[in-house]
Amino acid sequence: MAHILIIEDEKPINDLIAMNLELIGHSSEQAYDGTEALDDIKKNTYSLILMDIMLPGIDGFSLFEYVPERTPVIFLTARGNLSDRVRGLKLGADDYIVKPFETVELLARIEAVLRRTCRTVKVFSLDGTVVNLNSRVVTVDGSEIELTLREYELLEILIKNKNIALSREKLLKLAWDYDYYGETRTVDVHIQKLRKKLNWEDRIKTVYKMGYRLEAEQ
């Protein structure tokens, strides 16, 4: 699953792209102008960015300068002339698609870029919480959240075993790297902190007489 930023000022197009990305298993965030997009790029990490060129605030070519070097970009634009295509590709864009386009073509281009670039950034997104499993950066509604080492280790275990019930003893072993000697309250305390910090009160479920399970869409 890739986490993709869609930068497109035409809301119907932006929403259509987001809907189709979700249908094939990707998550996305949406920005409708260059200023908003710049804020997103500075705060978050993405597997891929879809970027219109003609944007309010900051145009796509200027915005591209702020994109991290390892993040692939596909330009979306109504401009079809050769000079714009050449400029976008010279800047370092991975692909360029002219509007109007067929959704199936865009999705095929996205999959091709993701395969070709072989990005190793792994991102988990759920209910406004985004976890970058490479950088260990966690954001909630775009704002970075500070987690202790143990809180993060516990979070990563829950994510990697999502929808699976894990006993307190198992969580203690995996996150704290020691065997069960009768005290599992520390797991309960850390789970409560994660629920509060990530707004996951309804996502981290208590499994009666056993432990916990992170409920997430497959």
| The pLDDT of residue 24 | 80
Q: What is the C-alpha to C-alpha distance for residues 71 and 50, in angstroms, rounded to an integer? A: 11
| The pLDDT of residue 180 | 52
Which of 125, 105, 117 has its CA nearest to residue 72? 117
The answer regarding whether domain 135-214 maps to CATH 1.10.10.10 reads: yes
∠ at Cα 173 (205, 164), nearest 5°? Answer: 35
Which residues neighbour 1 within 8 Å (Cβ) at sequence distance 6 or greater?
A: 25, 26, 27, 123
Q: What is the C-alpha to C-alpha distance for residues 127 and 55, in angstroms, rounded to an integer? A: 28
CATH code of the domain occupying 3-117: 3.40.50.2300
| Domain locations in the chain as residue ranges | 3-117, 135-214
| The pLDDT of residue 22 | 85
Task: Pick out the chain residues at pLDDT < 70.
Answer: 79-82, 118-121, 178-183, 218
DSSP type of residue 25: T
| The pLDDT of residue 16 | 93
| The pLDDT of residue 199 | 94
| The pLDDT of residue 119 | 54
